[in-house]
Protein backbone atom coordinates (compact mmCIF):
# COMPACT_ATOMS: atom_id res chain seq x y z
CA UNK A 1 0.00 0.00 0.00
CA UNK A 2 2.80 2.43 0.83
CA UNK A 3 4.27 2.00 -2.65
CA UNK A 4 1.03 3.09 -4.28
CA UNK A 5 0.88 6.26 -2.18
CA UNK A 6 4.51 7.06 -2.92
CA UNK A 7 3.95 6.59 -6.66
CA UNK A 8 0.96 8.92 -6.56
CA UNK A 9 2.96 11.60 -4.77
CA UNK A 10 5.82 11.25 -7.26
CA UNK A 11 3.33 11.59 -10.12
CA UNK A 12 1.87 14.76 -8.62
CA UNK A 13 5.36 16.15 -8.10
CA UNK A 14 6.27 15.53 -11.75
CA UNK A 15 3.08 17.22 -12.93
CA UNK A 16 3.62 20.26 -10.69
CA UNK A 17 7.29 20.59 -11.68
CA UNK A 18 6.33 20.46 -15.36
CA UNK A 19 3.58 23.05 -14.86
CA UNK A 20 5.99 25.36 -13.03
CA UNK A 21 8.76 24.88 -15.59
CA UNK A 22 6.52 25.90 -18.49
CA UNK A 23 4.23 28.12 -16.37
CA UNK A 24 1.29 26.41 -18.02
CA UNK A 25 -1.24 24.22 -16.18
CA UNK A 26 -3.12 23.25 -19.33
CA UNK A 27 0.03 21.98 -21.04
CA UNK A 28 0.92 19.89 -17.97
CA UNK A 29 -2.63 18.53 -17.77
CA UNK A 30 -2.58 17.44 -21.41
CA UNK A 31 0.85 15.84 -21.09
CA UNK A 32 -0.04 13.87 -17.95
CA UNK A 33 -3.71 13.18 -18.85
CA UNK A 34 -5.35 14.97 -15.94
CA UNK A 35 -7.54 18.05 -15.62
CA UNK A 36 -6.34 21.66 -15.51
CA UNK A 37 -8.27 22.14 -12.29
CA UNK A 38 -6.42 19.24 -10.66
CA UNK A 39 -3.05 20.65 -11.70
CA UNK A 40 -4.08 24.02 -10.29
CA UNK A 41 -5.08 22.42 -6.97
CA UNK A 42 -1.80 20.49 -6.74
CA UNK A 43 0.24 23.62 -7.50
CA UNK A 44 -1.62 25.51 -4.81
CA UNK A 45 -1.13 22.67 -2.32
CA UNK A 46 2.55 21.81 -2.92
Concatenated DSSP letters for 4-32? HHHHHHHHHHHHHHHHHHHT-HHHHHHHH
pLDDT 10s digits, 28-38: 999 999 999 99
pLDDT at residue 1, rounded to an integer: 61
**pTM (predicted TM-score):** 0.86
3-state secondary structure (DSSP) of residue 46: coil
Give me the mean pLDDT over the 15-31 stretch.
98
Percent of the chain residues past pLDDT 70, beyond the cut: 96
Domain housing 23: 2-45
The structural domain count of the chain equals 1
Amino acid sequence: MKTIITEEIRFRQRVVEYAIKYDNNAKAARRYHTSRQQVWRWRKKY
